[in-house]
Amino acid sequence: MRPDKTQHSLAEDEVRALDQAVILLKNQACTVGIQRIKNISVRLQFNREITEYTRGIVQDVYNGKKSTDQGLDAINKQRNALVKHTLMDQTFLGLGVAAGGMQVAMGGGICYFSAGALCLGIGAPLMLQGGNNIYENGRNLLSGRSDTQGPIRKVYHSVAKAVGGTEREGNIAYGVVDLAGSVYGAGRLVLKPDSWRLFRHIRTDYLYGFQRYTVGGAAIGKTSDVNTLQTLFDYWRDE
């Protein structure tokens, strides 16, 4: 509901500009709420607070406490702050897809270079985990959501419930395995690209996994690990 326009006369284009700014802010708030706030009641409260905020700004403009430009500036600043959150979420989702691809490649490499010896215990699970990360982050990126659950995560949920836990414990286990895979990949010994042998390889023929990372690959891995740690912290905090 608009304030009483008799309090302060506004030109028609000013009214349209305010209405449009309010609509854009509310739409952006809905997008951020869906992406970042899983609890429905908290999400509704967030949207109500945005509505109250815009109503207060518009009321100040009609009461002459703010100029139209000041009101628009306040509303647009709030919207820009929410847009940054959305862009940050999309960036992390994109990095999650890339990190999942690295997990799949790493798992495949372990299976290949171990001649299958480490495939069942390490390589295949790493590929499944990476594939699930690609699915979840990719679908969230395309749909604008944050609650996609892939089949592998659902297995973790089922196991957690079977031993008396909840989905929360399953999510924590999933995150721990993600981090363990990163640690293993960075710490395992791999052959140097130019190494050769007469009889068998010696220690100097090997590098640690992290020493073969490109700058971009290392950045993706570290950022993904930090995001996983933050997610784990959120799960612990929500206990």
How does residue 100 score in pLDDT terms, banded at 50, 70 and 90?
A: confident
Strand partners, 208: 189
User: Pick the residue with more confidence: 127 or 186?
Assistant: 127
User: Pick the residue with more confidence: 75 or 112?
Assistant: 75
Residue 74's pLDDT is: 93
Helix (H/G/I), strand (E/B), else coil: 206: strand
How does residue 25 score in pLDDT terms, banded at 50, 70 and 90?
A: very high
Residue 128's pLDDT is: 92
How does residue 210 score in pLDDT terms, banded at 50, 70 and 90?
A: very low
**Does position 10 have pLDDT exceeding 60, yes or no?**
yes
Separation of alpha carbons 64 and 58, rounded Å: 10
- Please name the amino acid found at residue 92: F
Residue 76's pLDDT is: 92
Question: Mean pLDDT score of the chain, rounded to an integer?
Answer: 78
Q: Which residues contact 177 (CB under 8 A, 6 or more apart)?
A: 125, 129
Cα separation of the two ends of the chain: 40
Separation of alpha carbons 107 and 128, rounded Å: 9
Residue 236's pLDDT is: 66
143-169 per-position pLDDT tens digit? 777 778 999 999 999 999 999 999 889
User: What is the token pair recorded at 193?
Assistant: 């690209």
Residue 126 in contact with residue 181, Cβ under 8 Å?
Answer: yes
> 58-82 burial, b for 16+ CB within 10 Å, e for fewer?
bbbbbeeebebeebbebbeebbeeb
Out of 34-43, 127-136, 209-218, give the one with best mean pLDDT. 127-136
The whole-number average pLDDT for the span 168-189 is 75
Out of 193-202, 216-225, 230-239, give the one with best mean pLDDT. 230-239
Helix, strand and coil percent figures for the chain, each rounded to 5: 75, 5, 20
* Cβ atoms within 10 Å of 112's Cβ, excluding its own: 11
* Cβ atoms within 10 Å of 228's Cβ, excluding its own: 20
Tokens 């297995």 -> residue: 155
The whole-number average pLDDT for the span 98-107 is 86
Share of the chain above pLDDT 90, in %: 26
User: Pick the residue with more confidence: 235 or 81?
Assistant: 81
Separation of alpha carbons 35 and 85, rounded Å: 10
* Cβ atoms within 10 Å of 189's Cβ, excluding its own: 12
Picking from 238, 77, 97, the residue whose alpha carbon sits closest to that of residue 167 is 238
Residue 199's pLDDT is: 42
Residue 102 in contact with residue 221, Cβ under 8 Å?
Answer: yes
Separation of alpha carbons 96 and 76, rounded Å: 30
User: Pick the residue with more confidence: 226 or 9?
Assistant: 9
User: What is the token pair recorded at 143?
Assistant: 């749909």
The whole-number average pLDDT for the span 17-22 is 93
Separation of alpha carbons 1 and 183, rounded Å: 56
